Structure 1
Amino acid sequence: MTTATDSPSQHQDVGRFTTVDSADRSAWFIEFMDLANGLPEYRRMRGELAASLGELSGKRVLEVGSGTGDDARELAALVGSEGKVVGTDISAAMVAEADRRAARQPTLPVRFAVEDMRRLSFGNGAFDATTAKLVRQHCDDLDTADDELLRVTRSGGRVAVFDYDFDTLTVDHPDRRATREVVHCFCDGHRNGWNGRALARRFLDRGLREVSLTPHTVRMPWVFFRRSLQGRLAEAVASGALSWSQQELQAWWQPLEAAEERGRFFASITGFVLAGTR
């Protein structure tokens, strides 16, 4: 089993999805998305996002931050032959992977494009429904990005967004003080670590109507937890953002590795599905 004390060079910081194309291992980010999307909680989350968009048959749907395109292909099956789905991502590597996977299902009405969510190329009201999952947390200009999500959605159309609130990370660990430092370090490693708690306020302020907000807690298996935190903590120690030695970092991981070996490891994180009418 790969341990949490392996060389940091083998891992990436999950807070850096905007740098996928410049990363040494873009495949790492693709593998991480596959790992996450395989969790049962993610399947339920995708189902709620799709249901929140309403009846989709024949509709035009945009997914911003589509990554490997798995969610967009599921939406394409719902819109049917009379509808269309467009998935966008800032990463050319992700779009290439999405295209490769979509080629296995050539009849699905879906296409992918490299787009910056702050400057979408689509016209006003171009889509009946717009969705974004776990992408806003990486954006350095949320005001512009959120305005764009609404701009490209027609009046009366639906918007559905999922974001984590990274300070909700919960870890069963014997050292409370050190674990609180880890939680804050992990949260602050994302551009918008408190994204989830601000969802309702931000979209209500933009005039979204019939707004609902539903919490989703994801229980994090060991391999998902390790990949989520490992690169960030190693980088934070190396940069001084987390004022620990490498030995202290290794010491923090050790009880968790022991707990996993005994079948006692527990960690979770909570996010929110926001849905509303444009």
Structure 2
Amino acid sequence: MTDAPHHRAALDVDLQPHKPHSARFWNALLGGKDNYPADQELAEKMKLEFPAAVDLARSTRSFLKRAVAHLVAEEGFRQFLDIGTGLPTADNTHEVAQRAAPEARIVYVDHDPIVLAHARALLTSTPEGETDYIDADLNDPDNVLTQAARTLDLNEPVALMLMSVIGHVTDPRQAVALVQKYMARLAPGSALVMCTTLASPEIDAANKSYADSGTQPYVASSAETMLAMADGLTIPAPGLGPISRWHPGANGPEADTQQWGYIAYKSG
């Protein structure tokens, strides 16, 4: 077992190694090495109580890769705003985008010194494009967009990535209003790539156990709430539902999970 994250010597932050941490927990759940025993213990606990947790995490990463690849290759997107980045792993947004379009520009957003330290060390751009990481809070769209505008041209389409992060806004009405505020500020032709966990008694119990560990709470969403986030946007087929159904590969879609979402577009 790993006793500390990689690059720890370069981190000038309080890592709080004895307390589970949301980003490190997901890293442990996905088999990463940037975590501590407390994060690993929580990951193992959640696997026992809710075995589908690993599938939810993996499906989110797979959806991110498919969505970004589609938006670049098929829709011509060259700008991405990825909020709630988490710890870098394989095939991050900039890697997928710049693999197909080296000139793509990506801004990552998180409000966590642990994630910030790792991201600055590991998220590097192609020479033709640009990758930036900003320290800002999801709940402060004015600040997020002001900082993002240093790298992105907000007068041109941007793909807003909200990958398993909106549940940290625990009031559904506030979550809906927040997503709508972001999309209102983005240019026509922009896209919203959103996924979160569909609420159910089993999911809600797992999220309560997760929050009881002392880490940042996460609240699942109803289908109605997810659709309200995209009010005024166009959600093409296959529509709101399991994210495995969006742009599957040649072998067909992966197994459905309770990780739901969509790619929604703002009219030009």
TM-score, scaled to structure 2 = 0.59
Distance 1:94 1:196 in 2: 28
1:208 alignment counterpart: 233
- 1:35 pairs, out of 28, 43, 49, with 28
| 1:192 CA displacement | 6.0
Distance 2:99 2:30 in 1: 19
Distance 2:109 2:120 in 1: 11
TM-score, scaled to structure 1 = 0.57
- 1:129 pairs, out of 159, 170, 178, with 159
| 1:65 CA displacement | 0.8
Question: Which stretches in structure 2 are left out of the alignment for 5+ residues?
Answer: 2-12, 32-53, 147-153, 245-255
1:195 alignment counterpart: 221
- 1:77 pairs, out of 50, 73, 98, with 98
Distance 2:72 2:240 in 1: 16
1:245 alignment counterpart: none
Q: Over alpha carbons, which structure has the higher Rg?
A: 1
What percentage of aligned pairs have identical amino acids? 13
Distance 1:149 1:98 in 2: 23
- 1:153 partnered with 2:186: yes
**1:94–1:216 CA distance, 2 compared to 1 (3 A):** same
Counterpart secondary structure, 2:235:
strand
Note the 1:232-271 alignment, pairs <5 A: 270-271=258-259
Q: Supply the RMSD in Å over aligned alpha carbons.
A: 3.7
**Contact 2:156–2:188 under 8 Å retained in 1:** no
Distance 1:152 1:53 in 2: 20
Counterpart code for 1:46: L
**Contact 1:168–1:269 under 8 Å retained in 2:** no
Counterpart code for 1:50: V
Higher helix share: 1
Higher strand share: 1
1:261 alignment counterpart: none
**1:164–1:58 CA distance, 2 compared to 1 (3 A):** closer
Count, aligned residues: 198
Structure of greater relative contact order (alpha carbons < 8 Å, 6+ residues apart): 1
- 1:139 partnered with 2:169: yes
